[in-house]
Amino acid sequence: MHLQHDLYARWALEMRSRAYFHPGQRVGVAVSGGPDSVLLLHFMEMLARELKFTLAVVHFNHQLRGPESDGDEAFVRGLATSLQIDYLRGQADVGRVARERRGNLEGVARELRYRYFFSLVDQGRLDVVATGHSANDQAETVLMRLLRGTGTRGLGGIYPQLADKVVRPFLGLTRAEVVQEIAARGIPYRVDSSNLNVRLLRNRVRMELLPLLAREYNPQIIPLLNQFADRARDDEDFLERSAREQAHPWRDRQGLEERIPIRTLTECSPALARRVLRQMLE
pLDDT of 157: 96
Query: What number of residues does the chain have?
Result: 282
Instruction: Average the pLDDT over 206-219 and give the result.
Output: 96
Distance, in Å, from the CA atom of 197 to the CA atom of 204, rounded to the nearest integer, reads 8
- Given a cut of 80, whether residue 238 has pLDDT beyond it is yes
With a pLDDT cut of 90, the percent of the chain lying above it is 76
Q: Give backbone dihedrals phi and psi of 274, rounded to 5 degrees, phi first.
A: -60, -45
Report whether 155 contacts 145 (CB < 8 A): yes
Mean pLDDT of the chain: 93
Report whether 162 contacts 115 (CB < 8 A): no
Distance, in Å, from the CA atom of 32 to the CA atom of 38, rounded to the nearest integer, reads 8
pLDDT tens per residue across span 6-22: 999 999 999 999 999 99
**Residue 265 identity:** L
CB atoms within 10 A of CB 130: 28
CB atoms within 10 A of CB 180: 14
Question: Is this model's pTM higher than 0.85 or not?
Answer: yes
Distance, in Å, from the CA atom of 6 to the CA atom of 11, rounded to the nearest integer, reads 8
Residue 89's H or E segment, with its range, is: strand 86-91
pLDDT tens per residue across span 61-92: 999 999 999 999 999 999 999 999 999 999 99
Report whether 53 contacts 43 (CB < 8 A): no
Model confidence at 5, pLDDT cuts 50, 70, 90, reads: low
pLDDT tens per residue across span 145-198: 999 999 888 999 999 999 999 999 999 999 999 999 999 999 999 998 888 888
Following CA atoms 112, 56, 190, 223 in sequence, which dihedral angle do they give, to the nearest 10 degrees? 80
Instruction: Average the pLDDT over 51-62 and give the result.
Output: 97
